[in-house]
A and B are shown apart, each in its own frame.
Chain A
Amino acid sequence: MSKFQFPESIKSRPVYGTLEPRPGKSHLMIADAEGAEALLDLAAQDADLMAKAHIIFIPKGTAYSDKLQALNPAQYYEGPSYEASVQRLRHVLANAHQGTQVYLAGTEGLMGQAQNEAMQAGIPHTAIQTEHRGSVARRMQCVHCKGITEDVMHDPFQCAHCGLHLFVRDHYSRRLAAYQGVRVDAEDHGNIPEPVELYK
């Protein structure tokens, strides 16, 4: 099962729901990896949705492509990475009509970034749904060098840019679509705790 119940946390931490079919002129669906399962569940609730759906899917090595294409969405695109998909996503959002529904599913990093694009394009937050599936990895911003490290699974972790060892905060910026990482040994240089897998 790809669903994970996040423990209750501080108020800046995002909370995700369960996708549900909503009436709309068009349906933009963006998912990565196990997020595909949420789209499959969504289609199972309302198969008619797909005739007006545009799916942007980033498989990340998973094998959901055939199942998603079998839903016969009006448009289907598979991207090798989120970064590779983002130009298409912006184009679709820029041309979206009023009444467009946005469905985001998969990892927090994918949902956060895509939500940011949708908000910037003027999609009201009430037309955006999210459902977490799959990896609990986090997209982290190093507060010191501002570099983003994707898919962080351990706390502490090493910043991919400046190399500092950072602890994983729950403080989250929607604008950056990232959690904050702060030097773990700032008050005792070199004393870096053994990394622990998130939520273990």
Chain B
Amino acid sequence: MTIQFNNETFRDDYSFHNSDWAIKRFPFPFHEDSYMYSVNMEQHRGGPEGSVYEKRFDVDEHYVSEMRDRAMVLADDPLRCQSLPHMTLAGWDLLELIMVSKSEDYPDLFELHRDGNTWRWINKPLGIDDTFTFLDETTLPYGPMEYITRQAQGDFCVLDQRDEMLWMDAGMVTTQADWSLDFDIGMNFFEWHAPVPLAHEMGIFKRALKFLLNIQQGAPARRLNWTMTVNPLLDTSPENYHKWGIQKTTLTPENIGSKQHLRVELQTFFRLPRSNALVFPIRCYLISFQDLVTMPKWGRRLHRVVRDLPDELATYKGFIDNRPMMLDYLSQFDDGLPTSPGVFPDQDTEPALQK
């Protein structure tokens, strides 16, 4: 299908919106009526047709507007994109991976023509047609990682692997759930996850690291993570928290359906061929509560998950104060009926709301 790109904003007037298509394919993260941390990894080798899991790097109706928002964030704060000196080769690896994947998966939108090291890259949605020399930084307007991640939705962490450990040594991070690349760059896997409650004690990070260290070329993996965001704000960075934090207090019973968003990260993991680095794209999807509850199964389930979530997690995810209001709203969409297993909305088989 040809994607109709939205013209929308993720700041100020927040004109971001999801079409019916985007709602139906939203990566709802709860496969059952409760949530606790888990490593929850699976292979990233496609998924149901039209779903966000189908392509290696999903492109959707928000693409053009998200890239415009990223450019604005970078203009304000260039430190959101950094690469330690030894990570340049990994940047080229990433550029190749994204260009090859997108041109193969979306031939109507992206073209890559390679003649030896002379590459021509055409990005039709963004109006880019560049010819450059692969592995020659002087032939691109930015470093290779920055160049390609200005054209790819989601944040990108490029992790060096040495001493049986992963190191956050490069990244493009403008749509993050409240962590700072500038602060965390150079940290190891346990250090940059240090502020996460409970999961260390549960052994989650030890198991996850073991899994990630062993990811092989051509065998990417994926998992989902989630949090809550008031207003469809992509840039929920700590750098700007002094500006956006107050927005959490603007929720009212009248506006919560349109203002409160479930924020889901589709995290994928690819081994890079030349550098042996691991790239960790973190793709952010937003959906308003009022759009989400149009899927009866999701409305029922989200109410139960939010209601039963341990306080530590609701605090860490930053919505403990708003939880009562969220539950008042969501309970209207929970009639107590059972839900089908799995994350998909199952529109054809799940009963309509019985109240």
Q: Which residues of A contact B (CB under 8 A)?
A: 10-13, 141, 143-144, 146, 164, 169-171, 173-176, 180, 182-183, 186-189
Q: In this complex, what residue of A is CB-closest to B245? A: A186
Contact (Cβ within 8 A) B241 A143:
yes
Contact (Cβ within 8 A) A186 B200:
no
Contact (Cβ within 8 A) B200 A171:
no
Task: Tell me which residues across on chain B come within 8 A of A186, comparing CB atoms.
Answer: 241-242, 245-246
B239 an interface residue at 8 Å Cβ cutoff? yes
A169 vs B241: C-alpha distance when bound (angstroms): 15
Contact (Cβ within 8 A) A143 B186:
no
Q: In this complex, what residue of A is CB-closest to B196? A: A10
A183 vs B246: C-alpha distance when bound (angstroms): 11
Contact (Cβ within 8 A) B239 A187:
no
Contact (Cβ within 8 A) B186 A173:
yes
B183 an interface residue at 8 Å Cβ cutoff? yes
Interface residues of B in 214-242 (CB under 8 A from A): 238-242
A12 vs B190: C-alpha distance when bound (angstroms): 7
Q: In this complex, what residue of B is CB-closest to A180? A: B183
Contact (Cβ within 8 A) B187 A10:
no
Q: Which residues of B contact A (CB under 8 A)?
A: 79, 180, 182-187, 190-195, 200, 238-242, 245-246, 248-249, 321
**Count of A-B contacts with CB under 8 A?**
63
Q: List 14 A-B contacts (CB under 8 A).
A: A10-B195, A11-B194, A11-B200, A12-B195, A143-B183, A146-B79, A146-B182, A169-B195, A174-B187, A182-B238, A186-B241, A186-B242, A186-B245, A188-B249
* Distance from B58 Cβ to chain A, minimum over Cβ atoms (Å): 30
Task: Tell me which residues across on chain B come within 8 A of A169, comparing CB atoms.
Answer: 195
Of A12, A146, A187, the contact of B192 (CB 8 Å cutoff): A12
Most B-side CB within 10 Å, residue of A174, A175, A189: A175
A171 vs B193: C-alpha distance when bound (angstroms): 10
